Amino acid sequence: MDFKGQRVVVTGGAGFLGRKVCGLLESRGCSEIMVPRRAEYDLTSEEAVARLYADCTPDIVIHLAAEVGGIGANMDNPGRYFFANMSMALHLIEHARLNNLSKFVQVGTICAYPKFCPVPFNEDDLWNGYPEETNAPYGIAKKAAMVMLDAYRRQYGLDGVFVLPVNLYGPHDNFDLHTSHVIPALIRKCVSAREAGSDSINCWGTGSASREFLYVDDAAEGIVLATERLDEPVPVNLGTGMEITIRDLVELIVELTGFKGGIEWDDTKPDGQPRRCLDTSRARDMIGFEAKVGFKEGLKRTIEWWEQQGDSAIKEESA
């Protein structure tokens, strides 16, 4: 697909990942990129979605917008996260069909995989079990969107794409301690503790769970490549294939931030899914995607950004 002359709506385009995706689209010659804002278009409302399509008349929709958070936020908002993510996809895909869209791109989530999925996660195992309980409503809502895209391609001929990025991180991430994911939360805790001269930081769980992380620039490249090169919603993992335990991650962030205190583990809090690590061979074979930013380098860039922005970034995001 050539983006020149295409009108592209990027939901969530003003966010952490969306800014990078919009920048890449522009660099590939797309001159008409529209980013709907929640104040004007509540995408959980069918009326607002219909109005968005009428106002923007897109050829392509890249759906990045989501209501999401870390383990604590998922435990507090299971109903909201299911409703919001399911209703956004439901209305956006249905109106893509009604408006004869060229292509609809749905960004899924690794939370859709079974809790005890064999490692590394292969896309063929996506249905072989129930997701980890704390984020199952969010994960299932996203996975249902893939089913809808597949059904709409078979019945209506709507071209769709479904990618599954692993946990993202990087500058401009969400650093709110209650709703953020693990890397920004740990960076903020360590920097704050260092500056306050604290003796220790507190971390959820046992540290035994493992995760894989993808730098935001790499994720954006994978999404744009998938938009260019795919036309059916075969699930495609986007990741690095590198697994790290939360305990090792904490120790690395402690080292990189220069925090000298101890680490206290609260094992009354959940670890979440036991392991996460992706088989990324399908992305390599189907769209030519391989991550470029090394993990330690990505962490350094993220820490540097937070140290420069600090609480001003939180205020800007909440404004």
Tokens (6 digits) for 287: 């769209």
DSSP element (H, E) containing 196: helix 182-196
Sheet strands (E) in the chain = 7-11, 32-34, 60-63, 103-107, 160-165, 167-169, 200-204, 210-211, 213-215, 235-238, 244-245, 262-266
For residue 319, give the DSSP letter. -
DSSP element (H, E) containing 141: helix 136-156
Contact 159, 234 (CB under 8 A): no
Q: What is the CA radius of gyration of the chain?
A: 19
d(C-alpha 144, C-alpha 137), whole Å:
11
Per the annotation, the verdict on 130 as an active-site residue is no
Contact 89, 158 (CB under 8 A): no
Sign for the pseudo-dihedral over CA of 206, 209, 214, 219:
negative
Report how far Cα 232 is from the mean position of its chain's Cα atoms: 20
Contact 244, 186 (CB under 8 A): no
The candidate with the shortest Cα–Cα distance to 203, out of 314, 71, 68, 305, is: 71
The three-class DSSP label of residue 12 is: coil
Of 138, 152, 169, 215, which one is the catalytic site residue? Answer: 138
Active site positions, annotated: 138
